[in-house]
Amino acid sequence: MEATHPQHLSLNIKKVPQGRMGLWVLIAGELVIFGGLIACYLEYRLRYPQWKEMAAHTSTFIGALNTVVLLCSSYTIVRAHEAAQKGNISKVLIWMSCTIAGGFMFLIDKGIEYYREINEGFTFTSPALQQAGDHVGSLFWSFYYIMTGLHGTHVLVGMIVMFIIMMQVRKGKNLHRVELAGMYWHMVDLIWIFLFPLLYIAK
């Protein structure tokens, strides 16, 4: 049976470290932003069944690969956090480097996917679709680029933040920030967990 912390199920928040508390508030805000987008996407998807024809152009293989990459990078950052608690700086740096590498791989995959889709004429406004009178199809790609683009921006920001924290950890400072960077990274992972089935599987 798993052990739980004594304050579990308590309403007392005084013992929550300030950094964690701040991150949870940030995560709550981000959930509203992405949740709102996902809610609108779902409703339009119900409204326009023909969106599945547009979704058929997305690459399930690249989407699945990116999901594996993000899940594995979530694992590496949590191992970095574990190493930070033990004060093992070299391991923290190795695990954080793996996480940043995962972020790079995600962005490269995404770039390849964007390149393919843009070459097929599917852009943020998709002029070819609009000229053909398919405004509904064009709307799908607007949602697609907003959601994946905003998510990709979060991945990039997470990588930059992680790199800055790595530089601090290298000097033996701010090891507790590894956990905070990890929480942000897990949030990015969570958002992708929902974007993947919406955009890549539900065809």
Find the binding residues for another protein in span 118-177 (CB under 8 A): 133, 135, 171-176
DSSP conformational letter for 16: S
Rule CB under 8 A: choose which of 110, 151, 154, 186 binds another protein: 186
Rounded to whole angstroms, the Cα distance separating 165 from 180 reads 10
112 in contact with another protein (CB under 8 A): no
53 in Cβ contact with 136 (< 8 Å): no
169 in Cβ contact with 95 (< 8 Å): no
36 in contact with another protein (CB under 8 A): yes
Question: Given its phi and psi angles, is residue 110 left (phi above 0), alpha (psi -120 to 50 degrees) or beta?
Answer: alpha
Among residues 37, 80, 74, 89, which one has the least CA distance to residue 155?
74
Q: Of the two residues 115 and 157, which places its CB atom closer to another protein in the complex?
A: 157
Burial bucket for residue 38 (CB in 10 Å: 0-12, 13-18, 19+): middle
Rounded to whole angstroms, the Cα distance separating 114 from 147 reads 13
67 in contact with another protein (CB under 8 A): yes
Rule CB under 8 A: choose which of 32, 112, 157, 164 binds another protein: 32
Q: Of the two residues 119 and 171, which places its CB atom closer to another protein in the complex?
A: 171
Residues in the site for another protein, rule: CB under 8 A? 2-5, 7-13, 15-17, 19-20, 24-25, 28, 31-32, 35-36, 39-40, 42-44, 46-47, 52, 60, 64, 67-68, 71-72, 74-75, 78-79, 82, 84-85, 87-89, 133, 135, 171-176, 179, 182-183, 186-187, 189-190, 193-194, 196-197, 201-203
